Amino acid sequence: MKEFSPSDLLLYGLIFLGLLVFNYFMQQAARRRQQEEQQEQLKEEEPPAPDEPLPSVWGRRAGAPAASPSPAAPVERVRGPDVLAAAAAPPRRRAGAKSLFATRRDLRRAVVLMTVLGPCRSQEPPAGR
C-alpha cells in the first residue's frame, strides 16, 4: 500500500477543510436568503384582525400561553378544618431517559435490541492470550 508524504496529507487536509468552509458559507447564505424572503412575506401580508385567532406556534394552540412555573397559591380550607385544597402543580419536565423513549413500546424495543446485541466486547480480555 502506498504511503502518503506529509505534503500530500497537508494538501488533502486543506482540500477537506476548504470543502467544510464552503459548505458552512453556503448554509449561511441560504439561511440569510430564507430570512429575507420571510421578512418580505411579512411585509406583504396584512396583520390579523383582533377577532381572528393567531396561527399556532410550535404545536401549541393559538393564544395558549407558554407553560411557566407559577408560585404556589395559598392553601384554602374546604369542607372543614382537616380537608385542604392544594394548588395545581406546574407541569414537570420529562427526565432525560424518559424523553428518549416516548412510549413503553419504544422502551421495550430498546431492551430487546440490547439483549440481541449483548454486552460490549471491547472491555473483555483477548481470548487467545
In a domain, 24, yes or no: yes
In a domain, 41, yes or no: yes
In a domain, 14, yes or no: yes
In a domain, 36, yes or no: yes
pLDDT on residue 14: 96
What range defines the domain where residue 13 resides? 1-46
In a domain, 91, yes or no: no
- Predicted confidence (pLDDT) per residue in 50-106, tens digit: 665 555 555 555 555 555 555 665 655 555 554 455 556 666 665 665 567 778 888
- Residues 119 and 125 sit within 8 Å (Cβ to Cβ): no
- Residue 78 or 125, more confident: 125
- Predicted confidence (pLDDT) per residue in 5-53, tens digit: 999 999 999 999 999 999 999 999 999 999 999 998 888 776 656 665 5
In a domain, 7, yes or no: yes
In a domain, 19, yes or no: yes
Count of domains forming the chain: 1
- C-alpha cell, 28: 449561511
pLDDT on residue 47: 60
Residue 49, number of CB atoms within 10 A of its CB:
6
The H or E element containing residue 9 is helix 6-44
Q: How confident is the model at residue 2 (pLDDT cuts 50, 70, 90)?
A: confident
- C-alpha cell, 13: 487536509
DSSP of 51-94, one letter per residue?
TSPPPPSTTPPTTPPPP---PPPPPEE-SSSS-EEPPPPPPPPP
In angstroms, what is the C-alpha Rg of the chain?
29
In a domain, 90, yes or no: no
DSSP of 13-27, one letter per residue?
HHHHHHHHHHHHHHH
